[in-house]
Amino acid sequence: MRPMNAAFEIALPTKDDLPGIGELYRAVAGVEGGLARTRDEITDDYIRHNFAASRDRGVEFLATIGGEIVGEIHAYRPTPRVFAHVLSDLTVAVHPDHQGLGIGRALFARLLATVEHEALGVTRIELIARESNQRAIRLYESLGFRIEGRFEGRIRGVTGSLEADIPMAWIRGRRGVGHP
């Protein structure tokens, strides 16, 4: 069994956390094959936009260890009202030094618990993962997300060739893995 790190905490972000979230994302983007954005594409605007959109029409959580931000997850509703029940644009990132310790799973658990227990009216959460990120895809499947198709040749891979992007969704109340 992999070790569990009991020392991390899950928290709601404030504006003061924006620089720390930016640092986290730049560290995570420094390792190719996970996030779609490269390090130089993690701009302050991008981090601010995620914070504002998640605050106004979605959710965002941080994982911290001793006050340092080591993980983040966010997702938010598309603006057209016909998508008011959907959380989209989900991104999750755990610092490379702290991956494999249960932090990503804990961030998802908090997000899913919020959707299950708070009256947000969300019935669908969607995300996209590159096909080679099997570790992430397995994690999402174990949480109840299902693969909904295959966007062939959508994303450039680490070697420069194109690979498939895999759309996945979690549906509220759907039974199966992650919904005992």
Q: Which residues bind ligand COA (CB under 6 A)?
A: 2, 28, 34-35, 92-94, 99-105, 129, 133, 135-136, 138-139, 142
Q: Closest separation between CB of residue 86 and ligand COA, Å?
A: 17
Q: What's the rounded Cα separation, in Å, for the pair 174 and 125?
A: 12
Nearer to ligand COA, 15 or 162 (CB): 162
Q: Closest separation between CB of residue 143 and ligand COA, Å?
A: 9
Nearer to ligand COA, 39 or 84 (CB): 39
Q: Closest separation between CB of residue 104 and ligand COA, Å?
A: 2
Q: What's the rounded Cα separation, in Å, for the pair 78 and 37?
A: 20
Q: Which residues contact 39 (CB under 8 A, 6 or more apart)?
A: 26, 29, 30
Residue nearest to ligand COA (CB): 104
Nearer to ligand COA, 13 or 104 (CB): 104
Nearer to ligand COA, 113 or 121 (CB): 113
Q: What's the rounded Cα separation, in Å, for the pair 46 and 49?
A: 5
Q: Which residues contact 130 (CB under 8 A, 6 or more apart)?
A: 33, 36, 155, 157, 163, 164, 165, 166
CA of 164: how far to CAs of 39, 135, 168, in Å? 22, 15, 13
Q: Closest separation between CB of residue 24 and ligand COA, Å?
A: 9
The beta-strand segments (E) located in 30-130 are: 58-65, 68-76, 86-94, 124-130
Q: Closest separation between CB of residue 82 and ligand COA, Å?
A: 25
Nearer to ligand COA, 43 or 121 (CB): 43
